[in-house]
Amino acid sequence: MRLNGQVAVVTGAASGMGKAIAELYAKEGAKVVVSDLNLEGAEAVAAAIKAGGGEAIAVQTNVADLKDIHTMIDTAVSEYGTLDILVNNAGIMDNMAPVGDVDDERWDLIFDVNTKGVMRAIRKALPIFLEKGKGVIINTASTGGFSGAHAGAAYTASKHAVIGLTKNTGFMYAQKGIRCNAIAPGATMTNIASTMSNVNEFGASRTKVTQGVIPRVGQAEEIAQVALFLASDESSFVNGAVIAADAGWTAG
């Protein structure tokens, strides 16, 4: 098992990629804090992991709330004794709205969840990682984190910021044994995708006009495999990197 005995916190783990990551980590021997705003969903994921012989606990977390972030990380320590892997995956979309259609309230909400929540969770986890001299941080960015053509203004800006934070964190803490990387998924079939205007049609139109792109949307399990690689020692020389898992959309 590739994560035997490791303690992982995964945010947004009641659904989609976070759920797939939590399940795969548990299968690989990790003890998983299944964190989500949706407690019922998180509890169902934790129960399924336990039913399969794994270790997991559900924690209700609004990543936009500092108190909840603290409770989430403190739960890993109180339940499992430490923290080894932090996956900042929770995120919300903005329905392709360009900047002219974004009001302050929506902008602030998207940044509080997608960006500030990531920063706060890293900041809370850092003392644990620094004391151990080891730790892994994985942030779910997006192809919208380095392209302006994949989402609305607030989401695009929030995910660009996540990539900047990932690179800076990887750079600043590399010599302390902490690695920080990001995954940039392309269109992937999850709940969030169903709120996008038309993820299937969007994916299909892109694949029709773009040579060399895998002609389908992704599955959450395919993103989880990247998150497993980044969490395991197999990626021990990977730091401050952004791995696109996007069928090749951003390669051209």
- Which residues carry out catalysis? 155
Instruction: Draw the binding track, 145-174, toward ligand NAD (x: CB under 6 A; -: no contact).
Output: ------------------------------
Packing angle of the helix pair 220-231, 16-27 (nearest 10 deg): 50
Window 62 to 81, contacts with ligand NAD (CB under 6 A): 62-64
Q: Say how many C-beta atoms besides its own lie within 10 A of residue 105's C-beta.
A: 8
Closest of 149, 142, 192, 190 to residue 166, by C-alpha: 142
Is residue 205 within 8 A of residue 2, CB to CB? The reply is no
Residues paired with residue 243 on neighbouring β-strands, in sequence order: 183
Closer CB to ligand NAD, 91 or 152, in the complex: 91
Q: Can residue 37 be called a binding residue for ligand NAD (CB under 6 A)?
A: yes
Amino acid at residue number 166:
T
DSSP single-letter state for residue 247: T
CB of 92 to ligand NAD, least distance (A): 5
Per CB under 6 A, the segment of 48-56, 119-127, 191-199, 225-233 that binds ligand NAD is 191-199
- By CB under 6 A, the count of residues binding ligand NAD is 30
Q: Can residue 36 be called a binding residue for ligand NAD (CB under 6 A)?
A: yes
Window 83 to 142, contacts with ligand NAD (CB under 6 A): 89-92, 113, 140, 142
Is residue 47 within 8 A of residue 40, CB to CB? The reply is no
Closest of 40, 42, 33, 37 to residue 14, by C-alpha: 42
Contact residues toward ligand NAD (CB under 6 A) are 11-12, 14-18, 36-38, 41, 61-64, 89-92, 113, 140, 142, 185, 187-188, 190-193, 220
